[in-house]
Chains A and B, each alone.
Chain A
Amino acid sequence: MNELAITVIGRDRPGIVADVAEVLARLGANLTDSTMTRLRGHFAMTLICTGPAAAEVEAALASLAAEGQLLATVRAVTPDGDVPPAGEPYVMAVHGSDRMGIVAAMTRVLVDAGGNVTDLSTRLTGALYVVLAEVELPAGVADTVLDRLHRTAAELGVEVTLRPADPDLL
Protein backbone atom coordinates (compact mmCIF):
# COMPACT_ATOMS: atom_id res chain seq x y z
CA MET A 1 0.00 0.00 0.00
CA ASN A 2 1.43 3.39 -1.02
CA GLU A 3 1.41 6.17 1.51
CA LEU A 4 1.38 9.64 -0.01
CA ALA A 5 1.98 13.10 1.43
CA ILE A 6 -0.02 15.69 -0.55
CA THR A 7 -0.15 19.45 -0.34
CA VAL A 8 -2.60 21.65 -2.23
CA ILE A 9 -2.62 25.42 -1.94
CA GLY A 10 -4.39 28.11 -3.89
CA ARG A 11 -6.46 31.28 -3.78
CA ASP A 12 -9.51 30.41 -1.67
CA ARG A 13 -12.75 29.73 -3.50
CA PRO A 14 -15.73 27.53 -2.72
CA GLY A 15 -15.19 23.92 -3.78
CA ILE A 16 -11.47 23.30 -3.35
CA VAL A 17 -11.96 20.57 -0.73
CA ALA A 18 -14.71 18.88 -2.74
CA ASP A 19 -12.69 19.05 -5.97
CA VAL A 20 -9.52 17.61 -4.46
CA ALA A 21 -11.33 14.98 -2.38
CA GLU A 22 -13.28 13.86 -5.46
CA VAL A 23 -10.10 13.38 -7.46
CA LEU A 24 -8.60 11.34 -4.63
CA ALA A 25 -11.73 9.26 -4.16
CA ARG A 26 -11.93 8.47 -7.86
CA LEU A 27 -8.38 7.11 -7.72
CA GLY A 28 -9.17 5.03 -4.65
CA ALA A 29 -6.93 7.14 -2.41
CA ASN A 30 -8.01 6.94 1.21
CA LEU A 31 -7.61 10.16 3.21
CA THR A 32 -6.08 9.52 6.60
CA ASP A 33 -4.77 12.53 8.58
CA SER A 34 -5.21 16.00 7.14
CA THR A 35 -5.44 19.69 7.96
CA MET A 36 -7.28 22.02 5.62
CA THR A 37 -7.54 25.69 6.46
CA ARG A 38 -7.67 29.18 5.08
CA LEU A 39 -4.55 31.29 5.53
CA ARG A 40 -4.99 34.96 4.59
CA GLY A 41 -7.16 34.25 1.55
CA HIS A 42 -5.28 31.14 0.47
CA PHE A 43 -6.64 27.68 1.09
CA ALA A 44 -4.03 25.16 2.22
CA MET A 45 -4.48 21.40 2.44
CA THR A 46 -1.87 19.07 3.87
CA LEU A 47 -2.83 15.45 3.90
CA ILE A 48 -1.68 11.90 4.09
CA CYS A 49 -3.50 9.28 2.07
CA THR A 50 -3.01 5.66 1.14
CA GLY A 51 -3.72 3.93 -2.14
CA PRO A 52 -2.55 4.66 -5.65
CA ALA A 53 0.89 5.49 -6.97
CA ALA A 54 2.19 9.03 -6.55
CA ALA A 55 2.47 9.69 -10.28
CA GLU A 56 -1.17 8.79 -10.83
CA VAL A 57 -2.37 11.20 -8.15
CA GLU A 58 -0.01 13.91 -9.34
CA ALA A 59 -1.39 13.67 -12.89
CA ALA A 60 -4.99 13.78 -11.66
CA LEU A 61 -4.36 16.82 -9.45
CA ALA A 62 -2.49 18.55 -12.25
CA SER A 63 -5.74 18.76 -14.21
CA LEU A 64 -7.25 20.71 -11.28
CA ALA A 65 -4.20 22.93 -11.06
CA ALA A 66 -4.38 23.73 -14.74
CA GLU A 67 -7.92 25.11 -14.46
CA GLY A 68 -7.31 27.43 -11.60
CA GLN A 69 -4.52 28.59 -9.41
CA LEU A 70 -4.05 25.47 -7.34
CA LEU A 71 -0.58 24.23 -6.68
CA ALA A 72 -0.37 20.55 -5.75
CA THR A 73 2.52 18.34 -4.74
CA VAL A 74 2.47 14.59 -4.18
CA ARG A 75 5.22 12.57 -2.60
CA ALA A 76 5.48 8.93 -1.60
CA VAL A 77 6.40 8.61 2.08
CA THR A 78 7.22 5.71 4.34
CA PRO A 79 4.52 4.78 6.81
CA ASP A 80 4.93 5.43 10.55
CA GLY A 81 7.89 3.68 12.07
CA ASP A 82 8.47 3.35 15.75
CA VAL A 83 7.00 6.37 17.49
CA PRO A 84 9.58 7.99 19.78
CA PRO A 85 8.56 8.24 23.42
CA ALA A 86 6.44 11.32 24.00
CA GLY A 87 7.88 13.98 26.27
CA GLU A 88 5.90 16.24 28.60
CA PRO A 89 3.36 18.32 26.64
CA TYR A 90 3.55 22.13 26.90
CA VAL A 91 1.95 25.07 25.15
CA MET A 92 4.18 28.00 24.21
CA ALA A 93 2.45 31.32 23.49
CA VAL A 94 4.39 34.20 21.94
CA HIS A 95 2.96 37.60 21.04
CA GLY A 96 4.27 41.01 20.12
CA SER A 97 5.11 43.29 17.24
CA ASP A 98 5.72 41.45 14.00
CA ARG A 99 9.34 41.16 12.97
CA MET A 100 11.56 38.77 11.10
CA GLY A 101 12.71 35.58 12.80
CA ILE A 102 10.35 35.15 15.77
CA VAL A 103 9.33 31.58 14.93
CA ALA A 104 12.89 30.65 13.99
CA ALA A 105 14.44 31.95 17.22
CA MET A 106 11.78 30.66 19.60
CA THR A 107 11.53 27.16 18.11
CA ARG A 108 15.33 26.91 18.03
CA VAL A 109 15.32 27.29 21.81
CA LEU A 110 12.84 24.41 22.06
CA VAL A 111 14.83 22.16 19.72
CA ASP A 112 18.12 22.87 21.46
CA ALA A 113 16.54 21.64 24.71
CA GLY A 114 15.50 18.37 23.07
CA GLY A 115 11.93 19.55 22.48
CA ASN A 116 9.72 18.53 19.59
CA VAL A 117 7.07 20.88 18.19
CA THR A 118 3.98 18.81 17.41
CA ASP A 119 1.62 21.58 16.35
CA LEU A 120 2.06 25.26 15.63
CA SER A 121 0.00 28.11 14.28
CA THR A 122 0.77 31.78 13.71
CA ARG A 123 -1.47 34.75 13.14
CA LEU A 124 -0.77 38.29 12.07
CA THR A 125 -3.58 40.67 12.88
CA GLY A 126 -2.82 44.35 12.50
CA ALA A 127 0.55 44.91 14.15
CA LEU A 128 0.09 41.93 16.49
CA TYR A 129 1.90 38.69 15.76
CA VAL A 130 0.86 35.56 17.69
CA VAL A 131 2.62 32.20 17.74
CA LEU A 132 1.06 29.20 19.49
CA ALA A 133 3.06 26.00 19.67
CA GLU A 134 2.42 22.65 21.26
CA VAL A 135 5.72 21.09 22.18
CA GLU A 136 6.91 17.94 23.88
CA LEU A 137 9.83 18.54 26.19
CA PRO A 138 12.11 16.03 27.92
CA ALA A 139 11.25 15.62 31.60
CA GLY A 140 12.65 18.24 33.93
CA VAL A 141 13.85 20.83 31.39
CA ALA A 142 10.83 23.16 31.35
CA ASP A 143 12.23 25.71 33.84
CA THR A 144 15.52 26.01 31.97
CA VAL A 145 13.69 26.25 28.65
CA LEU A 146 11.45 29.01 29.99
CA ASP A 147 14.51 31.00 31.14
CA ARG A 148 16.02 30.71 27.68
CA LEU A 149 12.71 31.57 26.00
CA HIS A 150 12.45 34.70 28.15
CA ARG A 151 15.95 35.77 27.16
CA THR A 152 15.29 35.20 23.45
CA ALA A 153 11.88 36.91 23.68
CA ALA A 154 13.48 39.94 25.34
CA GLU A 155 15.96 40.19 22.46
CA LEU A 156 13.07 40.05 19.99
CA GLY A 157 10.89 42.43 22.01
CA VAL A 158 8.04 39.88 22.32
CA GLU A 159 6.27 38.18 25.23
CA VAL A 160 6.38 34.44 25.90
CA THR A 161 4.68 31.98 28.23
CA LEU A 162 5.22 28.23 28.53
CA ARG A 163 2.56 26.24 30.35
CA PRO A 164 1.90 22.54 30.78
CA ALA A 165 -0.74 21.45 28.27
CA ASP A 166 -4.05 20.61 29.86
CA PRO A 167 -4.12 16.84 30.31
CA ASP A 168 -7.85 16.69 31.03
CA LEU A 169 -9.81 14.21 28.98
CA LEU A 170 -13.56 14.03 28.91
Chain B
Amino acid sequence: MTGEERGPDVGLGEWTPESLDVPGEVRAVVSAPHPVLSRAADEVDPTAKETVQLAADLIATMKVSPGCVGLAAPQVGVGARVFAVDVTGHPKAVTVHGTFVLCNARVVEATRWKPGREGCMSVPDLTGDVKRASRLVVEGDLPGSGVPVRLVTDGFEARALQHEIDHCAGLLFLDRVAGAHAVYQRKVYL
Protein backbone atom coordinates (compact mmCIF):
# COMPACT_ATOMS: atom_id res chain seq x y z
CA MET B 1 0.00 0.00 0.00
CA THR B 2 1.42 3.40 -0.89
CA GLY B 3 1.16 6.66 0.95
CA GLU B 4 -1.22 7.96 -1.68
CA GLU B 5 -3.68 5.11 -1.12
CA ARG B 6 -3.61 5.77 2.61
CA GLY B 7 -4.19 9.46 2.14
CA PRO B 8 -1.38 11.93 1.96
CA ASP B 9 0.88 12.95 4.80
CA VAL B 10 -0.26 16.49 5.44
CA GLY B 11 2.88 17.05 7.52
CA LEU B 12 3.21 19.57 10.30
CA GLY B 13 2.65 22.57 8.01
CA GLU B 14 3.95 25.75 9.59
CA TRP B 15 4.11 24.18 13.05
CA THR B 16 7.45 24.15 14.88
CA PRO B 17 8.25 23.82 18.59
CA GLU B 18 8.86 27.60 18.55
CA SER B 19 5.25 28.20 17.54
CA LEU B 20 4.24 27.11 21.05
CA ASP B 21 5.74 30.45 22.09
CA VAL B 22 6.31 29.47 25.73
CA PRO B 23 9.53 28.31 27.34
CA GLY B 24 9.40 24.64 28.31
CA GLU B 25 10.31 23.51 31.80
CA VAL B 26 11.93 20.17 32.53
CA ARG B 27 9.56 18.00 34.54
CA ALA B 28 10.30 14.96 36.69
CA VAL B 29 9.70 11.63 34.91
CA VAL B 30 7.74 9.02 36.86
CA SER B 31 8.64 5.32 36.85
CA ALA B 32 6.50 2.18 36.89
CA PRO B 33 4.78 1.13 39.03
CA HIS B 34 2.83 4.41 39.12
CA PRO B 35 -0.94 4.57 38.65
CA VAL B 36 -0.79 7.42 36.12
CA LEU B 37 1.11 5.11 33.73
CA SER B 38 -1.62 2.48 33.86
CA ARG B 39 -4.79 4.43 33.19
CA ALA B 40 -6.12 5.73 29.89
CA ALA B 41 -5.35 9.45 29.69
CA ASP B 42 -8.00 12.11 29.01
CA GLU B 43 -8.59 13.91 25.75
CA VAL B 44 -7.33 17.49 25.80
CA ASP B 45 -8.19 20.83 24.22
CA PRO B 46 -5.11 21.34 22.05
CA THR B 47 -5.56 25.11 22.13
CA ALA B 48 -5.80 25.39 25.93
CA LYS B 49 -3.00 27.27 27.67
CA GLU B 50 -2.12 24.31 29.91
CA THR B 51 -1.90 21.98 26.89
CA VAL B 52 0.53 24.37 25.18
CA GLN B 53 2.65 24.56 28.35
CA LEU B 54 2.55 20.77 28.70
CA ALA B 55 3.69 20.40 25.07
CA ALA B 56 6.62 22.75 25.66
CA ASP B 57 7.53 20.95 28.90
CA LEU B 58 7.44 17.54 27.18
CA ILE B 59 9.84 18.78 24.51
CA ALA B 60 12.14 20.36 27.11
CA THR B 61 12.18 17.17 29.21
CA MET B 62 12.72 14.96 26.15
CA LYS B 63 15.63 17.14 24.99
CA VAL B 64 17.54 16.93 28.28
CA SER B 65 17.07 13.15 28.52
CA PRO B 66 19.88 11.27 26.73
CA GLY B 67 18.63 8.86 24.08
CA CYS B 68 15.00 9.91 24.58
CA VAL B 69 13.06 9.82 21.29
CA GLY B 70 9.59 10.32 22.75
CA LEU B 71 7.85 11.32 25.95
CA ALA B 72 4.15 11.11 26.82
CA ALA B 73 2.28 13.26 29.35
CA PRO B 74 1.55 10.33 31.71
CA GLN B 75 5.33 9.92 32.05
CA VAL B 76 5.53 13.35 33.66
CA GLY B 77 2.55 12.51 35.85
CA VAL B 78 -0.16 14.15 33.72
CA GLY B 79 -3.07 11.99 32.54
CA ALA B 80 -3.48 13.81 29.22
CA ARG B 81 -3.38 12.48 25.66
CA VAL B 82 -0.32 14.50 24.65
CA PHE B 83 3.15 13.32 23.66
CA ALA B 84 6.35 14.58 22.08
CA VAL B 85 8.42 12.63 19.54
CA ASP B 86 11.77 13.33 17.89
CA VAL B 87 13.71 10.56 16.15
CA THR B 88 15.96 12.98 14.23
CA GLY B 89 19.36 11.42 13.60
CA HIS B 90 18.42 7.98 14.89
CA PRO B 91 20.12 5.28 12.80
CA LYS B 92 16.91 3.22 12.49
CA ALA B 93 14.77 6.18 11.42
CA VAL B 94 13.65 6.44 7.80
CA THR B 95 10.85 9.00 7.59
CA VAL B 96 11.46 11.80 10.10
CA HIS B 97 9.04 14.62 10.95
CA GLY B 98 11.49 16.32 13.31
CA THR B 99 10.45 17.49 16.76
CA PHE B 100 6.69 17.50 17.22
CA VAL B 101 3.90 17.16 19.73
CA LEU B 102 0.53 15.54 19.06
CA CYS B 103 -2.66 15.83 21.10
CA ASN B 104 -5.44 13.20 21.08
CA ALA B 105 -3.49 11.09 18.59
CA ARG B 106 -4.86 7.82 17.27
CA VAL B 107 -3.60 5.11 14.94
CA VAL B 108 -5.59 5.12 11.70
CA GLU B 109 -3.69 2.41 9.85
CA ALA B 110 -0.98 0.01 10.98
CA THR B 111 0.67 -2.50 8.67
CA ARG B 112 3.91 -4.48 8.16
CA TRP B 113 4.43 -5.59 11.74
CA LYS B 114 8.04 -6.14 12.74
CA PRO B 115 9.75 -7.07 16.00
CA GLY B 116 12.19 -4.68 17.63
CA ARG B 117 13.79 -3.87 20.99
CA GLU B 118 12.29 -1.01 23.05
CA GLY B 119 13.13 0.76 26.24
CA CYS B 120 11.27 3.40 28.21
CA MET B 121 12.28 6.19 30.59
CA SER B 122 9.50 5.02 32.91
CA VAL B 123 10.87 1.45 32.97
CA PRO B 124 14.53 2.42 33.24
CA ASP B 125 16.06 -0.98 33.99
CA LEU B 126 14.42 -3.15 31.34
CA THR B 127 14.10 -3.43 27.58
CA GLY B 128 11.81 -5.74 25.62
CA ASP B 129 11.05 -7.24 22.23
CA VAL B 130 7.82 -5.78 20.89
CA LYS B 131 6.15 -6.19 17.51
CA ARG B 132 5.05 -2.87 16.00
CA ALA B 133 3.68 -1.73 12.67
CA SER B 134 6.48 -0.41 10.47
CA ARG B 135 4.01 1.48 8.29
CA LEU B 136 1.72 3.78 10.20
CA VAL B 137 -0.86 6.48 9.70
CA VAL B 138 -1.61 8.62 12.73
CA GLU B 139 -4.08 11.44 13.15
CA GLY B 140 -3.96 14.03 15.93
CA ASP B 141 -4.08 17.72 16.73
CA LEU B 142 -1.18 20.13 16.97
CA PRO B 143 -0.84 21.95 20.30
CA GLY B 144 -1.45 25.69 20.10
CA SER B 145 -3.20 26.00 16.74
CA GLY B 146 -5.25 22.86 17.29
CA VAL B 147 -4.86 22.09 13.59
CA PRO B 148 -5.63 18.42 12.85
CA VAL B 149 -2.82 16.56 11.11
CA ARG B 150 -2.38 13.21 9.43
CA LEU B 151 1.13 11.81 9.55
CA VAL B 152 2.24 8.88 7.38
CA THR B 153 5.44 7.37 8.67
CA ASP B 154 7.47 4.19 8.98
CA GLY B 155 10.35 2.46 10.71
CA PHE B 156 11.61 3.87 13.96
CA GLU B 157 9.35 6.94 13.97
CA ALA B 158 6.33 4.63 13.56
CA ARG B 159 7.57 2.56 16.51
CA ALA B 160 8.07 5.66 18.67
CA LEU B 161 4.56 6.92 17.84
CA GLN B 162 2.94 3.59 18.76
CA HIS B 163 4.91 3.49 22.03
CA GLU B 164 3.72 7.02 22.96
CA ILE B 165 0.11 6.40 21.87
CA ASP B 166 0.20 3.30 24.10
CA HIS B 167 1.31 5.48 27.05
CA CYS B 168 -1.75 7.66 26.46
CA ALA B 169 -3.89 4.50 26.60
CA GLY B 170 -2.29 3.40 29.89
CA LEU B 171 -0.09 0.73 28.30
CA LEU B 172 3.65 0.08 28.66
CA PHE B 173 5.86 -1.90 26.30
CA LEU B 174 5.77 -4.60 29.00
CA ASP B 175 2.13 -5.17 28.06
CA ARG B 176 3.13 -6.14 24.51
CA VAL B 177 6.34 -8.15 24.87
CA ALA B 178 6.55 -11.26 22.72
CA GLY B 179 7.12 -13.98 25.31
CA ALA B 180 8.34 -15.11 28.71
CA HIS B 181 11.95 -14.32 27.88
CA ALA B 182 11.44 -11.18 25.79
CA VAL B 183 12.36 -8.74 28.58
CA TYR B 184 16.00 -7.97 29.30
CA GLN B 185 17.94 -6.19 32.02
CA ARG B 186 19.27 -3.03 30.44
CA LYS B 187 23.02 -3.30 29.96
CA VAL B 188 23.72 0.11 28.46
CA TYR B 189 22.25 3.30 29.86
CA LEU B 190 22.30 6.26 27.50
Q: Contact residues of A with B, CB < 8 Å? A: 91, 93, 95-97, 119-121, 123, 125-130, 132-134, 158-159, 161, 163, 165-166
Contacts and interface: CB of A to CB of B under 8 A. Distances in A.
Interface residues of B, number: 21
B123 A128 contact: yes
A159 B31 CA distance: 14
Question: What's the dominant secondary structure at chain A's contact region?
Answer: strand
Contact of A93 (B32, B38, B175): B175
A119 B33 CA distance: 24
8 contacts: A91-B179, A125-B125, A130-B126, A130-B183, A134-B179, A159-B172, A163-B176, A166-B131
B74 to A, nearest CB: 13
Interface of B: 31-33, 38, 123, 125-126, 131, 171-172, 174-183, 185
B179 A119 contact: yes
A97 B33 contact: yes
Contacts of B176: 93, 161, 163
B32 A132 contact: no
A95 B174 contact: yes
A49 to B, nearest CB: 22
A123 B176 CA distance: 16
